[in-house]
Every structure is written in C-alpha cells, then in structure tokens.
Chain A
Amino acid sequence: MNFDDTPQEAEFRAVARQWIAANAPKELEAELTKPNAKRANEKRDAMLDVSKAWQKKKADAGWACLHWPKDYGGRGATPIERVIWQQEEGVYDKLSRPFAIGQGMCGPTVMAYATEEQKRQYLPPLASGEKVWCQLFSEPAGGSDVAGLRTRAEKDGDDWIINGQKIWTSGAHYSDYGILITRTDPNVPKHKGLTMFFLDMKSDGVEVKPIKQANGMQEFNEVFFTNVRIPDSQRLGAVGDGWNVSLTTLMNERMSIGARVHTGFPELFDYCSNLMLEDGLAIDDSNVRSKLAGWAVKNSGLTYTSYRSISALSKGERPGPENSIGKLVSGMMMQDIAMFAADLQGASGALVGGDAEAGGEFQATILSSPSMRIAGGTDEILRNIIAERVLGLPGDIRVDKDVPFNKVPTKGR
C-alpha cells in the first residue's frame, strides 16, 4: 500500500507539471480557486474565449483528451496518465467545463460508432475546443426515464427528418454539434424504438432557447427541432439500437474518476477556522466541530475511494458502478455545507453577492447546488444504480416495459 508513482508515472508527472507551470493562465488562478468561479455563460463571453484559448494551447502541446488516440486529437495516454494530468491541472480544469460533456460523453460515442473518416474529421476539433458539442438526451417527457423520449426521426431518402423538443441541454447556445437521441419506431416498447445521431447545431430548423435557471444563470436550454434534416451517414449505431448507444455515452461518465472531489468541505473548514462568533472562533464550538468532523470524514472517504479506483485503473481494471457514490455524496454535501455556513452567519446569511459575508460564495452554492443532485442522474437514480448493479437487488417493476410506446400513458392524473 503506497501513494508513490512508478518511475514512468513520476516522469510523466514531472513533464506535465513543468508544462502547466510554464503555460497555465496564472492570472486566473485566484478566480478559479473560488467555489463559484466565473464560468462561460453566454455565447459570446470572455470566459468562453479564455476556455477555448487554454484548450487550444493544451491540444497543440498534446495535453487535450489525453487518453484519446493521437489520430483523433489525443495523446494515446494510459488511464493513469490521464488521472495524473487531472491532478496536476488542478483548478485550471474548471476552464474545460464547456467541453466536458462533448469530450466526456459525445466524443467517446462518436469514437465507438462513427466511420473512420468522421472520427478524423470531428474529434480533433472537439479535443482542441475549437468545436463545442452538447448532449441532446433529456426531454420534457423523460429525464431520468430518458427512454421515454418523444422526439421523432422519420426516414426520407438518405435523410432523416427530425421533429420534437429537447430540454435542459447544457451549452446548446454555444455548441457547434450535438448528439441526439430520437424515436424512430413508436410501435415497439420504448427501449427498442430509439436511434442516435449527431448533427450540426446550425442546421435549418434547430432553435435554441435559453432557460433561466433557479439561480438566475442561463446555462441550459430548450432545443426545438422543426423538420430538421440529418443525413443517414450521421447515424450512430443501428436503427433501433439507440438505447445501447446511449449507454455507451452514459458509461463513459464513470471513467472520469480521478478529478478532484468537490464537496465544499475545505472551504467550510477554512471559513470556520477564521470566523469569530460571540464566544470565540467558530471552530472552537463543539457543535461546529461535530458537524465539521462528520463532513471531514465524508470528504476524505471520497478522496480515498477515488484513490482506490485509481489503483484499480492502474492495474488495468475498469471502474464499476460503485463510482456512483462520488456524485451522490458530494452533491448532498455541497448543499448541506453551504446551508450550514449561512446559518453560522445568522441574519446576514440571507444576503447574497457583494452584500453577503465571505464574498457570497456559500449563498451562491445554496442556489446552484440543487442542480448537482439532479444533473447527470438524480440522487434517487444513483441509489437505484447502487442497489441494482452493485448490490444485486431487483430492478424496479417496469409497467411500460413490454407495452408499445404509443400505448404508454402520458399523464399522471
């Protein structure tokens, strides 16, 4: 049991560290260190430009999508080298957020199902951040139950004609491409009639409408499709096999272990170490200590769980569904911790932004953290995954499993 790099790993780390020291945008470090660091929000915004510039610089030097083959814009690195890179990149990884979905989910799907020519055409600019991709899965009718989607694709010669609506599509407003899952056969049970495509977001008939979020920001969108034509050559996987293709996409989420675990704990610990209450420092209060300790061990537990996954990865094992615990635990922690910090502030805890204590970071987290428990699989779906895939408990009873999709009820009451 040790935390030491192998000689090759140590060498790789040294090279990565050196390159980052020489090239990272250090003027942004302080901003990026904040829990609610500024992020690319609008289509034309300075933060998106900064993100793209950093991504391009990394790509040119071979530090983008490290684990992808060189021909597709990567470095051909091993999984463990990718982890080392993430550790070394530190807070600058926040700049890569606009590309996370494209590189983490869309790219691997394209890699698994597109033609060689398409891969060489589309993947390198995705790796370098020159082209941004989004994931068009969720619909008003189906988020957790993504297979309940209703967007139609109908064959017309060599094209498919798309009609319908997606929702919650992060970054659609600044994306160039998207992967899109559609229903091609409503006469069979829901999982069987799906087909996956990729498309140019500037295609005729695609309309992106930003949605204002509960925290006031606008990062996700509604996307409407009216007679949008997609050539059959942009189909990913067989007709009717879209569900399996989407699983490839979703499975790839799990490979993204190793990045730092964000729970909000270090920030809270820091805050309590300096915060003066009536009777002294917050951290000297026994109630505060007890709360802090409870979160401290979750924070360390998640960190060491990721170390265990990294160790498995470095032995060539594939990370399994047990990695679902990371988001489940950290999402809830973020929210609880921010609420606790605001509580320590008393009545001032109700203020936000520049008027608030501690730069309003905790209030910003109170307002943004509900999304962490929903996006990318809700807490409940994650518990189902752990219960079914890790513990082997029975799947939910699926009343719509063998029913043709067009016979499934659409209203609760």
Chain B
Amino acid sequence: MNFDFSDDQKQLRDEARRFLAEKCPPKAVRAVIDGKAPYDRDLWKGLADMGFLGVAIPEAFGGSGAGHLELCVIAEEMGRALAPVPFSSTVYLAAEALLLAGSDAQKQKWLPAIAQGHAIGTLALFEGTGNPSPKAIKLTASNGVLNGTKKPVADGAIADFAIVAARTGSTGRDSDIALFLVDLTSEGVEAKALTSIDPSRNQAEITFTNVKAELLGAANEGWSILSQVLDRAAVLIGFEQVGGSDRALEMGRDYALDRIAFGRQIGSFQAIKHMLADMYVSATLARSNCYYGAWALSTNAAELPEAAASARISATQAFQHCSKNNIQVHGGMGFTWEFDCHLYYRRSNALAVGLGSLSHWEDQLIERMRQKNAA
C-alpha cells in the first residue's frame, strides 16, 4: 500500500506553495475583495505560465497531461492561499465537463485556451435557492436555443464560456436534462455581478434570451455527465478546503503562541489547546477522506461517487470548523477587517454551499452507500 502522494507530486506541491506565497499574499486577495479588480489577472497568467491550469488536460489539448493527483496537490495550495482566481470553475467544472463529454472540436477550441490562461469557463447550474437536482432546472432548450436564468453562477461575470444545464423535456426523468456549451459573448447573454459572502470570488446571474448553443455530450445524458462533473469537483474543492483548514489551524496555533493574556500564552489554556486539537482532528479526517477521493478520481474507480461525497462532507465540515475557531482563538482581533481570519471564514462558507449544501451531500452519501450495499 502506498496511500500517499509521490515524491514528484509533493515536489509539485512545494513548488505551488512557493509560487503562491510570492504571487498570492493576503494583499493580493484583499485587492480583489476591495473591488480593485474582478479577479487577479497577473496571478491567472502566472498560473498558466507555471502549467498549473492545464495540469490535468492531456497534451493533445494543450495541457501537460500530468494528471488528477497533480491537480489535487495544486488545489490544496490554491485553497491555502485563498487564490482570488476562477480556478475551480474553469479547471474543476468547465474543463472536467469538456474532458468527460466534449466533442473533439469542442475540446480543441476550449481546452488549449484554458491551459494558456486565455479562456475562463464555468458551470451554470443553479436557478436560485436549492440543490443540484434535475427538477430544479427550468431553463429551457429547444432546438438548441436557450431561454432562462441561472443564479448564482460562480465567476459568471468574468467567464468566456459556460456549460449550461437545460431542460429539453418534461417526462420527469433525468434524460430531460441536457448540457450546452455557450460562448458568453453570444447575443442574448446578459451577466450581472452579484455580491457574495466571499468577495474574493465572483458570483453572477446570467440571463439567456434566445441564445443559440451547442450540445455538450448526448442530449439525454446531461444529468449523468453533470453528476460526474460534480463528483470530480467535490474532490478537488475538497482539497481547497483542506488547504484552507490547515492554514486556518496554523494561524490559530501561531496566534495562541504569540498572544499573552493573564500573564500566559493563551495557547497554554486548555480551552484553547483543546479547541486547536479538535481542529487538527477535523482537518486530519478531511485530509484522509480527500486522499481517498484523489485515488478514486485519478483511477476513475467505481468508488468515486461515494468517495467524492465523503470528501465533500468531511472537508466542508473541517474548513468551517477551523475557520470559525480560528476567529475564536484570535478574540476581538479575529473580528476585525484587518486580520485575515475572516477571509478564511468567508471562503469556507462560500465553498460549503458552492456545489450544493451539506445536507444534500449527506443525503447523496447515504444513498450511494445504500446502493452499494444493495448491489
């Protein structure tokens, strides 16, 4: 058994960490939060130059073809650094959907552009309150023409193209849902930026009025493709959450060592020690679940749906737990705009619902475990 990343992959992680420490300090995150730019363009270009955007894209489509384990270690670092770029929407959602279901022409058009940092992509799935479900998709597609509204769409206001989930029938079956690839510069597309709990990442509402779009994958398989994309993204975002959890835990630990109250380091009070120990436990369990997810993702294992749901739940819990208690350890300072604690807290709360809520994934996990047991 070797349930660990390889030395090369660990080296890649170190490289990504060094790169992000230099190019993505908290100051860079704050520039986006303060509204100076919708995302960090220099960082995006840097990520392309480093080859990080195309790490899981095959060489034939302009990537380095290294693989998904490599993408996992980069994802962890992106989460740790709170990178204010459309990485997850472009790389985990749009590129994964293209890789799974795109035609050769579609892949040729978009994947090299993604790898080079020239195209930002996203997934337009949600339509207001609710979780991923075929029933919740009302936006219609008839004869390749889309009408309806998606909200929220991560990075929707800065994306060049979107994979759009649309309704093509009303039989009540999953096959009513098809995926479409839409160039967001098309006529009839209107994107409006929305305000988010985590302003370091963009959210938008996109209205489609008689927009011509091309199918992505078979018309009756949209939901099945989408489910696979969400599972894959759940693992990758899980790594971002693990990176964020670790950083929040470290910040809390460091502050507990520096801060003196009642004549002692606050890290010498057991209330604080035990809080940090519990954060370590959550972060460790999440990391282990995500490693299993990484294995399933990289080998396309039959276990992926269950592994992805476990990674998603565990990592969501860990990041929220670590980021909120990091604020707690910081006392009043943790509740200031100036300290970075709230940046992690914000990100953890945005990621927690970005692929559908915790209860949705809990339900999915148990359903999947049950089906496995029944089989």
- Report if A2 contacts B (CB, 8 A): yes
Q: Per-position contact with B for A1-22: 1 when CB-CB < 8 Å, else 0?
A: 1111100010000000000000
User: Is there an interface contact between A383 and B278, defined as CB atoms closer than 8 Å?
Assistant: yes
- Chain A contact-residue range equals 35 or more
Q: Per-position contact with B for A342-386: 1 when CB-CB < 8 Å, else 0?
A: 000000000000000000000000000000000000001011101
List residues of chain B with CB within 8 A of the CB of A311: 1-4
User: Is there an interface contact between B284 and A388, defined as CB atoms closer than 8 Å?
Assistant: no
How far apart sit A2 and B295, CA to CA, in the bound complex (Å)? 7
List residues of chain A with CB within 8 A of the CB of B310: 296-297, 300-301
Q: Considering the complex, which residues of chain B in the window 360-374 have a beta carbon less than 8 Å from any beta carbon of chain A?
A: 361-363, 365-366, 369-370, 373
- Report if A56 contacts B (CB, 8 A): no
Q: Considering the complex, which residues of chain B in the window 213-229 have a beta carbon less than 8 Å from any beta carbon of chain A?
A: none
List residues of chain B with CB within 8 A of the CB of A296: 310, 313, 365-366, 369
* Residue in B closest to A303 when the chains form the complex, CB atoms: B288
* Residue in B closest to A293 when the chains form the complex, CB atoms: B362
- Report if B285 contacts A (CB, 8 A): yes
The answer to whether A394 and B265 touch (CB under 8 A), given A294-B362, A311-B3, A329-B285, is yes
* Residue in A closest to B362 when the chains form the complex, CB atoms: A293
Q: Per-position contact with A for B341-375: 1 when CB-CB < 8 Å, else 0?
A: 00000000000000000010111011001100100
List residues of chain B with CB within 8 A of the CB of A298: 285, 314
How far apart sit A248 and B277, CA to CA, in the bound complex (Å)? 24
How far apart sit A393 and B1, CA to CA, in the bound complex (Å)? 33
How far apart sit A392 and B268, CA to CA, in the bound complex (Å)? 11
- Report if A325 contacts B (CB, 8 A): yes
Q: Per-position contact with A for B307-342: 1 when CB-CB < 8 Å, else 0?
A: 001100110010000000000000000000000000
How far apart sit A194 and B270, CA to CA, in the bound complex (Å)? 27
User: Is there an interface contact between B298 and A1, defined as CB atoms closer than 8 Å?
Assistant: yes
User: Is there an interface contact between A394 and B268, defined as CB atoms closer than 8 Å?
Assistant: yes
Binds B, one of A99-107, A139-147, A178-186, A282-290: A282-290
- Report if B30 contacts A (CB, 8 A): no
List residues of chain A with CB within 8 A of the CB of B272: 393
User: Is there an interface contact between B2 and A1, defined as CB atoms closer than 8 Å?
Assistant: yes
Contact of B363 among A2, A273, A286, A384 (CB under 8 A): A286
List residues of chain A with CB within 8 A of the CB of B265: 393-394
Contact of A283 among B285, B314, B366 (CB under 8 A): B366
List residues of chain A with CB within 8 A of the CB of B249: 391
Say how far A89's CB is from chain B's closest CB, in angstroms.
17
- Report if B257 contacts A (CB, 8 A): yes
Contact of A380 among B274, B295, B298 (CB under 8 A): B274
User: Is there an interface contact between A3 and B313, defined as CB atoms closer than 8 Å?
Assistant: no
How far apart sit A396 and B249, CA to CA, in the bound complex (Å)? 20
The answer to whether A5 and B281 touch (CB under 8 A), given A297-B365, A300-B292, is no
Say how far B302's CB is from chain A's closest CB, in angstroms.
14
* Residue in B closest to A307 when the chains form the complex, CB atoms: B3
Total interface residues in chain B, CB < 8 Å:
48
Interface of B is mostly: helix
- Report if B5 contacts A (CB, 8 A): yes
Say how far A397's CB is from chain B's closest CB, in angstroms.
7
- Report if A95 contacts B (CB, 8 A): no
- Report if A292 contacts B (CB, 8 A): yes
- Report if A308 contacts B (CB, 8 A): yes
- Report if A337 contacts B (CB, 8 A): no
Contact of B270 among A9, A303, A384 (CB under 8 A): A384
Say how far B362's CB is from chain A's closest CB, in angstroms.
3
Say how far B39's CB is from chain A's closest CB, in angstroms.
31
List residues of chain A with CB within 8 A of the CB of B314: 297-298, 300-301
- Report if A92 contacts B (CB, 8 A): no
User: Which of A307, A328, A392 is packed against the most chain B CB atoms within 10 Å?
Assistant: A307
- Report if B305 contacts A (CB, 8 A): no
Q: Considering the complex, which residues of chain B in the window 243-280 have a beta carbon less than 8 Å from any beta carbon of chain A?
A: 249, 253, 256-257, 264-265, 267-268, 270, 272-274, 276-278, 280
Say how far A294's CB is from chain B's closest CB, in angstroms.
7
How far apart sit A2 and B299, CA to CA, in the bound complex (Å)? 9
Say how far B9's CB is from chain A's closest CB, in angstroms.
8
* Residue in A closest to B253 when the chains form the complex, CB atoms: A391
- Report if A304 contacts B (CB, 8 A): yes
* Residue in B closest to A301 when the chains form the complex, CB atoms: B285
The answer to whether A297 and B289 touch (CB under 8 A), given A3-B3, A273-B373, is yes
Contact of A5 among B1, B257, B274, B373 (CB under 8 A): B1
How far apart sit A287 and B264, CA to CA, in the bound complex (Å)? 43
List residues of chain A with CB within 8 A of the CB of B369: 269, 296
Contact of A2 among B1, B277, B280, B286 (CB under 8 A): B1
Say how far B130's CB is from chain A's closest CB, in angstroms.
15
- Report if A24 contacts B (CB, 8 A): no
How far apart sit A256 and B205, CA to CA, in the bound complex (Å)? 54
User: Is there an interface contact between B253 and A393, defined as CB atoms closer than 8 Å?
Assistant: yes
How far apart sit A393 and B329, CA to CA, in the bound complex (Å)? 13
How far apart sit A396 and B269, CA to CA, in the bound complex (Å)? 8
How far apart sit A138 and B264, CA to CA, in the bound complex (Å)? 31
How far apart sit A5 and B2, CA to CA, in the bound complex (Å)? 9
User: Is there an interface contact between A312 and B4, defined as CB atoms closer than 8 Å?
Assistant: yes
The 10 closest A-B CB pairs, nearest first, are A301-B285, A293-B362, A387-B273, A304-B288, A386-B277, A383-B277, A297-B314, A307-B3, A394-B268, A393-B267
Query: Can you spell out 12 A-B residue pairs with CB atoms less than 8 angstroms apart?
Result: A9-B1, A269-B369, A283-B370, A301-B288, A310-B3, A311-B3, A328-B281, A383-B270, A383-B277, A391-B280, A393-B257, A393-B268
